Amino acid sequence: MSHKVIVPIGPYHPLQEEPEFFQLYVDGERVVDIDIIIGYNHRGIEQLAETKHFDQVAFLVERICGICSSSHPYAYVLAVEDILGGEREVVPERALYIRTIIDELQRLHSHLLWLGLAGHFIGYNTVWMWAWKYREPVLDCFEMITGNRQNYAMFKIGGVRRDIKDEDIPVLKKALDELVPAIEMFRGAVMDDPVIKMRLKEAGTLTKQQAIDWCVVGPTARASGINIDIRRDEPYGVTDRVNWSVIIENDGDVFAKTIVRILEMNESVHIIRQCLEKMPKGKIDADIKDVPPGEGIGRVEAPRGECFHYIRSDGTNRPVRLKIRAPSFMNVASDKVAAVGGTISDAALTLAAVDPCYCCTARLAVIDKPSNKKIMNGWDLVKLSQEKTEKLKQGLSDTGK
């Protein structure tokens, strides 16, 4: 206890893009406790939303997070449409399909992004480069449909802003067809590679009970064997009119979280293909003029988990209150149990495994508690993690001989 060392991670380092500050208390190699300090990214969005009118807020909430830039506006428009009578009553049929397509395309790009970063953390830079390479065609699809690679601005109260043109559909299908073998390759790479398996198995385990206790959501919960998915539990868009399945793993370690995300990409491709087949012709916007007084909620399964928006309207053109609960807010807290007990070289990976959206959260360095001297930054931690993989590889090749 006297040799407790604090390892600060964050708040500004080049790997996790957003600022977030972790303090790891370590005893030798073991992590004994962890402090999470967030708030380096606070921009006062909830208050700003009260100063903008309903249509503008959709653009504002889009900029909460760049990776889930369709989940937040989607949850927001769902909340407003909840006041108006529900998404299914208000929104034209074609717009529902377009919304689902955009939401699933976003899941594809987000999971590929995470897979790349996870590969980088364990020293497999090839996985990083390849995952991001295959992410580019998805962004091209976004650009083709919405006009922007990120921040699509597709969602509006009562519909969507842009239509998917008929000539775009074959291009979209072709991009998906090319993505499927890539996903298959990643699945093979992760499942069959003995080093990745040794490295990720039993790292940062979150048991089912812990997952329930810490209220984790999304792929983090599904990797611990909890059967939740907002797309199935409370369908929005057309998620209940297409066939797909919820991916569940029981181990709760980083390996399970990776597998869940990779298999979910397959489901997303499956959903988009069905949507493109079934999509009817027609209007894409319901021309909503006024929002009546009332309260509404919107829940969307973002790539990281349940994204929740609450809105209250008093009949004017501005919301009186907007409350947002982002999925990472719940998931990041679970690091407290997942990282504790593991080794410090697993910490960077475990912290990254929940796919934290640091836009809501800070970063890491090491201070020796008795002397307060030893400083280690996030970069050194990643190096430590990469060295461990290297050692495992070495050990494997030695036994092979």
Give contact residues for other proteins (rule: CB under 8 A): 11-15, 17-19, 39-45, 47-48, 51, 59-60, 63-67, 69, 113, 116, 128-130, 132-133, 136, 149-151, 357-359, 377-380, 382
Q: Is 117 left (phi over 0), alpha (psi -120 to 50) or beta?
A: alpha
Closest among 247, 216, 183 to 354, alpha carbons compared: 216
Report the residue number, 134 or 214, with the smaller CB distance to other proteins.
134
CB-nearer residue toward other proteins: 291 or 326: 326
- Alpha-carbon gap, residue 245 to 270, rounded angstroms: 10
- Tallying the residues shown for the chain, one arrives at 401
Question: Per-residue DSSP letters for 111-174?
Answer: HHHHHHHHHHHTT-HHHHHHHHHHHHHHHHHHHHHHS-SS----EETTEESSPPPTTHHHHHHH
Judge whether 356 and 17 are in contact, CB under 8 Å: no
Tokens of 122: 């364990």
* Nearest Cα to Cα of residue 7 among 355, 254, 352, 369: 369
Shortest separation between residue 357's beta carbon and other proteins, angstroms: 7
Taking the complex as a whole, how short is the minimal distance between the CB of residue 39 and other proteins, in angstroms?
Answer: 6
Round to whole Å and give the CA distance between 284 and 95: 5
In the complex with other proteins, the residue whose CB is nearer, 63 or 283, is: 63
Smallest separation, CB 136 to other proteins (Å):
5
Choose between 129 and 212: whose C-beta lies nearer to other proteins. 129
Angle, CA of 253, 254 and 257, to the nearest 5°: 95
The whole-angstrom separation of Cα 238 and Cα 98 is 9
Q: How far is the CB of 67 from other proteins (least distance, A)?
A: 6
Name which of 155 and 358 has its Cβ closer to other proteins: 358
Minimum distance from CB of 383 to other proteins (Å)? Answer: 8
Question: Hey, what are 307's tokens?
Answer: 């994204």
| Cβ-based nearer residue to other proteins, 64 or 271 | 64
Helices 71-84 and 54-62: crossing angle in degrees, nearest 10, is 150
> Tokens representing 59?
């653009």
To the nearest whole angstrom, how small is the minimum distance from the Cβ of residue 266 to other proteins? 23
**Minimum CB separation from other proteins for residue 131, in Å?**
9
Nearer to other proteins, 25 or 379 (CB): 379
Q: Is 224 helix (H, G, I), strand (E, B) or coil?
A: coil
- Both tokens assigned to 373: 């001297």
Compute the least distance from the CB of residue 29 to other proteins, in Å. 21
Q: Shortest Cβ distance from residue 189 to other proteins (Å)?
A: 16
Cis preceding linkage at 235, omega within 30: no
